[in-house]
């Protein structure tokens, strides 16, 4: 019997992504075979595509990407086949719509055993790690140790691809520990930043400020509840935030620009005893004045990684409409036009570009 095949995007190296015919995977014990409905292109996908050091390391060694591999970690789809024991393990059936979190934890290290699975010492990541092929394919496997969530029927196929970035946004906002009345800056209002803005609004900040270098994104930020919208290319953003806060600075600064200069701006923009949330994956190393963190302001610096325990909240927020992701999807391309999809995503005019298998 001939092996069934499928189409998939395969990353072979920076700028070397190809649409190929590959064997359709077969689920083993505990695994799910999922027909992918849609997969988003993330900023990290773009940075991997262009050879960012976080993904390829020095001279192609030591980075996070294990090419050749199918990229894509913002996916959702329909369960079409179950490995032995998978239905009981993941609580899904054939025909259910489902999503797996982007990390596949080992379930055995100290972090997994302590419930901190998103910091798993021996994890794999969909679309980057060997053994976790991503969602830019017609079909994909959810490994046995995947963290799987059923998708509310009110969430459309396209919007479901936004569950992963929204979960990440919710977690980052949680890490900011926003209190009612706080002055909050979201620096970088691309697609995830706009999700963060909406999530932050629900904590009733006294002043919600969007910072970005693209005027159209700042306009969207205003429609999503930003009280102020600041373009740092048009003046001193730090000075403006201080003017808006009686000279103190903001209480919380969430960095989601991906620009290596933004962390320093955040340190300068924060008040004493303020909180900086570091979210972005940078293409290059960032230099900061470390003395501001301790000696000058005694800041809280909180990292934010992935979207642990936030997928159910993200699914509910999309389903009931309390967070709008639908209007952020501005382009979609068939899988066979991946090159055009990546070009559109990298162009900067689209907020979220989807690949549709």
Say if residues 254 and 176 touch (Cβ distance below 8 Å): yes
Element (H, E) at 22: strand 16-23
Comparing CA positions, the residue from 91, 201, 87 lying closest to residue 149 is 91
Long-range Cβ contacts of 192-195 (<8 Å, 24+ apart) = 192/43, 192/165, 192/168, 192/256, 192/279, 193/169, 193/217, 193/221, 193/254, 193/256, 193/257, 194/220, 194/221, 194/224, 194/328, 194/351, 195/162, 195/165, 195/166, 195/169, 195/170, 195/323, 195/325, 195/328
- Tokens (6 digits) for 73: 């970690």
Residue 322 token pair: 């309390």
Q: Are strands 124-125 and 329-334 parallel, antiparallel or unpaired?
A: unpaired
Question: Tokens for 169?
Answer: 């946004």
Cα–Cα distance between 62 and 53 in angstroms, integer? Answer: 9
Distance CA 138, CA 132 (A): 15
What is the rounded distance in angstroms from the CA atom of residue 143 to the CA atom of residue 145? 6
The pLDDT profile of the chain, 357 residues, written as one tens digit per residue, is 457 999 999 999 999 999 999 999 999 999 999 999 999 999 899 989 998 877 877 665 667 888 899 999 999 999 999 999 999 999 999 999 999 999 999 999 999 999 999 999 999 999 999 889 999 999 999 999 999 999 999 999 999 999 999 999 999 999 999 999 999 999 999 999 999 999 999 999 999 999 999 999 999 999 999 999 999 999 999 999 999 999 999 999 999 998 889 999 999 999 999 999 999 987 678 899 999 999 999 999 999 999 999 999 999 999 999 999 999 999 999 999 999 999 999 998 889 999 999
CA 24 – CA 58 distance, rounded (Å): 33
The first and second tokens of residue 279, run together, are 């979210």
Q: Are 289 and 263 in contact (CB under 8 A)?
A: no
Superfamily for 168-303?
NAD(P)-binding Rossmann-like Domain (3.40.50.720)
Whether the model pTM is above 0.75: yes
Tokens of 144: 């046995």
DSSP 8-class letter at 69: B
C-alpha dihedral over 64, 71, 53, 143, to 10 degrees?
Answer: -10
CA–CA distance, 351 with 40 (Å, rounded to integer): 11
Domain residue extents for the chain? 5-162+325-356, 168-303
What is the chain's length?
A: 357
3-state SS string for 181-207? CCEEEEECCCHHHHHHHHHHHCCCCCE
Task: Supply 125's token pair.
Answer: 């990541």
CATH of 5-162+325-356, one of 3.40.605.10, 3.90.180.10, 3.30.950.10, 3.30.390.30: 3.90.180.10
Closest CA to 125 of 143, 98, 150, 113: 143
């Amino acid at each position: 019997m001939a092996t069934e095949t499928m189409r998939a995007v395969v990353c072979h190296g920076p700028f070397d992504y190809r649409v190929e015919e590959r064997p359709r995977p077969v689920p083993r014990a505990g695994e799910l075979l999922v027909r992918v409905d849609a997969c988003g292109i993330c900023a990290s996908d773009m940075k991997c595509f262009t050879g960012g050091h976080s993904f390829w390391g020095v001279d192609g060694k030591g980075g996070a990407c294990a090419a050749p591999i199918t990229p894509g970690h913002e996916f959702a789809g329909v369960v079409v086949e179950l490995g032995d024991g998978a239905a009981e393990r993941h609580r899904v059936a054939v025909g259910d719509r489902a999503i797996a979190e982007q990390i596949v934890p080992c379930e055995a290290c100290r972090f997994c055993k302590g419930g901190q699975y998103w910091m798993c010492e021996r994890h794999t990541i969909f679309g980057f790690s060997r053994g976790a092929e991503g969602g830019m394919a017609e079909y994909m496997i959810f490994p046995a140790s995947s963290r799987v969530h059923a998708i509310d029927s009110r969430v459309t196929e396209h919007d479901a691809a936004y569950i992963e970035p929204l979960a990440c946004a919710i977690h980052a906002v949680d890490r900011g520990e926003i209190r009612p009345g706080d002055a909050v800056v979201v620096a970088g209002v691309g697609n995830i930043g706009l999700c963060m803005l909406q999530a932050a609004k629900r904590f009733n900040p006294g002043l919600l400020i969007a910072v970005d270098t693209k005027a159209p994104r700042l306009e969207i930020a205003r429609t999503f509840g930003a009280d102020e919208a600041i373009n740092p290319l048009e003046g001193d953003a730090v000075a403006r935030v201080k003017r808006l806060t009686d000279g103190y600075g903001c209480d919380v600064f969430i960095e989601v620009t991906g620009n290596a200069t933004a962390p320093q701006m955040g340190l300068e923009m924060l008040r004493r005893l303020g909180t900086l949330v570091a979210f972005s994956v940078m293409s290059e190393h960032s230099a900061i004045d470390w003395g501001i963190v301790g000696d000058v302001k005694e800041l809280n610096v909180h990292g934010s990684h992935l979207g642990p325990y936030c997928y159910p909240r993200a699914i509910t927020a999309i389903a009931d409409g309390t967070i709008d992701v639908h209007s952020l999807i501005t382009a979609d391309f068939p899988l066979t036009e991946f090159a055009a999809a990546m070009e559109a995503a990298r162009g900067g005019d689209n907020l979220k570009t989807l690949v549709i298998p």
